[in-house]
Structure 1
Amino acid sequence: MVAWRSVLPVVVLVAFLVLEEWISIPSCKILPGIDSDEYVETGDGSPEDLKVMMVANLLLLGSEAGFFDLYFRDYYMAKFFRKSFSTLKPDMLVVLGDVSAKGSELTRSKWLDVLNQFHKMLGPFLALPFHVSLGDMDVGECSNLDRKSVNWIARNFPGLDSAGCGAFEISNISFVSLNSVALLCGNNKLRFGVEKVIERESVDLQMVTRATIKVEDKSGRSSETSSNFGWRGNGLTSSSGPVLLLHFPLHRKENSYYKKVVSFKSKVDTSGYGSNILESRGFAGTGLYGLFQTIPPNATEYIFQALKPRVVFSAHTHEFDDYTHSDGTHEITVPAMSWKARSEPGFIAATFLSKNRGVSITYCSVARESHMLIAYASVLVLLLFLAIVANTPRLKWLRQ
């Protein structure tokens, strides 16, 4: 009996470690209403499919992180990234802004602390291509949006130009990333830089489309093209209509966002998806702009006319959303990957299918912070109880 009592604390600790590993594994579901016949949740698709993990709103504090943030929140977020990598086996990582919780207020030396923290958190993802869009928490609001500061921050992330924009192609899928913060800022010089990027990508898109039509005409086939992208048949070639990456969502009709979230929650049991949008609005650190802030209508129309995006991924609101614009373009809003923003963080895995040019969206959530704390508290209480039993004479009958 004495031997069993000495082993019991070890058994409890091992059980806790097993529970910790299990609770660190993300819970993923392919969302209803999206054609995913050629993709299964375990990832047994075509080797030519492109799987992109998309996260947002990490809200890192760098050297300003306290003990709890550093040794609990950041520790588990790093573990969630490792588990997500081993579970989903993505080909690429995209971070849709707000890497830092106070980036617009930080000196360059403190920004470097945030970047070090960010790289440590990514872990195995550093071996993959990854892209970071800039958010309002990273670069600030319009009144103090500084071109030199944005340029310095952008240089620390791969593929961003001096305006905080980027364009790249991977596995024949074209991506365009825009500094959406600048698009909110009137006559700011950065906004003109973003517009130049949009114009350049628009010209490239038209040239590629015309070249493809000419090739088809010479081959004797019809010049009418159809990419059959799954969500939206836009009549462009495979290299046209890029995937658009933004921090701020594009403009939507009044109240349409809230109605869409309510509709989504009515169709799907979101008890595992965390708090609703109104609860999320109560977060004290929501940022320099309101959570319902979107890109202005004229800028949104400009983007649609110039780029004709096949699908848009945005963030900022901390909540998941699948919104269909009036022209049929889908916009997926990626939830926050931080306990600072919501009780149950989440992220998106987007798989671009090679066979039918479709796309499959998988929503993944990680454990609630309260669940992790309850697990810790339970183990501590149990160990304390065992210590009391082992050292209290009156409880001798429990030790026998």
Structure 2
Amino acid sequence: MIKRIKNVKLKRISKFVLCIIGLIFFCEYAIYYIVLIQCDWPSDSNMTPEQPIKVMFVADTHLLGTRKGHWLDKMRREWEMRQSFQTALNIHAPELVFVLGDLFDEGLWSSDLDFNSYVKTFKYLFSVPHTTKLYTVVGNHDIGFHYSIVPQLEKRFNKAFNTSPVELISKRNVHFVLINSMAMEMDGCFLCYSAELKLKKIANLLKCSEKSIACSKESMLNGTYSKPILLQHFPLYRKNDIDCNVVDSAPMKEKKKPFREGWDCLRKDATDKLLKMIKPRLVFGGHTHHGCHIKHTNGIDEFSVSSFSWRNKYNPNYLLATFTTDSYAVQICHMPFEYTIVMIYLTSIIFLFFKMLK
């Protein structure tokens, strides 16, 4: 009789342990696939027959450093971001991934030793297969706002991620221009001066290729011209977020808050000059931590990508976009809500506890 009771208790304990293991597996692995697989690549009925470029956009990962946040908070956020990103890669298999700035939360304050550690962590969390290329855009939390940037901080980031103040990335005749937003003050500082030189060179490449004018081979694009896509950390100049009405846009109180030029968005004169030189068909940015889709008066569509971290937003997400030389389509992909995972844990554990008592 005693032996039978022990066997029953052992079976119950074994079932309880198995249920806990299953619960952890579901909340830490399976739920990411269940949620993210519901999002698919967008398409446009007006797209040409050519094979579209598949691009994933991520912004404001804000990996925590040693100054802010608890170690447990840091560990949890990094786990959530890695699971979301790696699951998204497995499901969607993008050709290109662009991370639109503020990779780190404390990049500008960190020592070289800490910074190298943050870079190593980022490259682990956001590692990609050889079939995918990942490019980064620098943000103000990575090197500082314009007034506080020193050459050492900028060079350190550029070396770690093989970037420059202005870059041109082309794939199958779709062209992306990557901009350092903090270098767009146009005041002749060391950073702005070099950025403006590169910007003029890329603008000339685009102009020569667009008009097929007599230019040297070095002054022509490798491939056919198409209107470029502008990528940066800051949004273009706008007064506020009041016209942002997508599902992940800011709360109304934040929407009404005026944007400060050079802090919350690009300066107006820098925006005008950039649009005049590059003539983009589309703009992507981050920085605000909230989603936005607006059409500017000149007809250019601009998308702001939400923060990828649950620490900054309760409903973080990423964008999937497909591009051909003359068309595009964009889709918002939502990640699991953190409170959903917490509630699953709580209700399941309470249920199992009462089940054990019975």
Give the TM-score range, shorter chain. 0.7 to 0.9
Tell me which of 270, 278, 282 is aligned to 1:311.
282
The count of aligned residue pairs is 338
* C-alpha contact 1:98 1:138 (8 A) present in aligned 2: yes
Shift of 1:195: 1.4
Give the distance between the partners of 2:117 and 2:287, measured in 1 at CA.
23
Match of 1:342 in 2: 313
- When residues 344 and 290 of structure 1 are mapped into structure 2, their CA distance, relative to the original with a 3 A threshold, is farther
1: distance between equivalents of 2:161 and 2:15?
Answer: 49
- Change beyond 3 A, Cα 1:299–1:290: closer
1:225-240 matches, cutoff 5 A: 238-240=224-226
Instruction: Extract unaligned runs of 5+ from structure 1.
Output: 40-44, 215-236, 283-288, 390-397
Secondary structure of 1:124's match?
coil
Q: Per the alignment, in what secondary structure is the counterpart of residue 336 of structure 1?
A: coil
Give the counterpart letter for 1:49 in structure 2: P
Q: Which residue of 2 aligns with 1:95?
A: 99
For 2:328 and 2:44, the matched residues in 1 are separated by 8
1:373 aligned to 2:342?
yes
Distance 1:67 1:149 in 2: 25
Distance across 1 between alignment mates of 2:214 and 2:103: 41
Equivalent of 1:67 in 71, 86, 91: 71
Q: CA-to-partner distance for each residue in 1:6-60, whole Å, 9 max, x for gaps?
A: 44311353244235434213445579xx972378xxxxx9782211110000000
Q: Residues 18, 61 of structure 1: CA spacing in aligned structure 2 closer, same or farther, 3 A cutoff?
A: closer
Residue deviations 1:149-178 (CA, integer Å, cap 9, x gap):
2022111113x12xx322121222111111
Distance 1:84 1:208, change over 3 A: same
**1:114-145 deviations in whole A, cap 9, x for unaligned?**
11110111133576211100001111123321
Note the alpha carbon deviations across 1:325-356, whole angstroms, 9 max, x for none.
111111111111011211111111111146xx
Is the partner of 1:24 in helix, strand or coil? Answer: helix
* Deviation, structure 1 residue 3: 6.8
Equivalent residue for 1:55, pick from 58, 62, 76: 58
- Measured in 1, the distance between the counterparts of 2:112 and 2:76 equals 26
Q: Shift of residue 187 of structure 1?
A: 3.9
Taking the aligned partners of 1:318 and 1:4, their CA distance within structure 2 comes to 49
Q: Please, what TM-score do these two structures have when normalized by structure 2?
A: 0.83
Which of 5, 29, 38 is residue 12 of structure 2 equivalent to? 5
Cα gap change, 1:298 to 1:78, in 2 (>3 Å): same
Q: Structure 2 vs 1, CA of residues 204 and 371 (structure 1 numbering), >3 Å: closer, same or farther?
A: same
Structure 2: runs of 5+ lacking an equivalent = 1-7, 216-222
Q: Residue in 1 aligned with 2:180?
A: 179
Could you tell me which residue of structure 2 aligns to residue 37 of structure 1?
Answer: 45
TM-score by length of 1: 0.75
Match of 1:247 in 2: 233
In 2, the alpha carbon distance for the partners of 1:145 and 1:281 equals: 29
Cα distance in 1 between the residues matched to 2:135 and 2:230 = 12
Q: Offset at 1:307? A: 0.6
Cα distance in 2 for partners of 1:277, 1:141 equals: 26
- Per the TM alignment, residue 361 of structure 1 is displaced from its structure 2 partner at its CA by 0.3
Per the alignment, residue 197 of structure 2 pairs with: 196
Code of the residue aligned with 1:180 in structure 2: it is S
SS in 2 for 1:328: coil
After superposition, residues 114-129 of structure 1 pair within 5 angstroms as 114-125=118-129, 128-129=132-133
Q: In the superposition, relative to structure 1, how do residues 81 and 186 fare at CA in structure 2: closer, same or farther (>3 Å)? A: same
Q: Which residue of 2 aligns with 1:166?
A: 167
The structure 2 residue matched to 1:21, chosen from 29, 33, 42, is: 29
What is residue 276 of structure 1 aligned with on the other side? 251
Structure 2 residue aligned with 1:206: 207
Give me the identity figure in percent.
21
CA RMSD of aligned residues (A): 3.2
Contact 2:78 2:125 in 1 (8 A): yes
Q: Which residue of 1 aligns with 2:138?
A: 134
Aligned residue for 1:229?
none
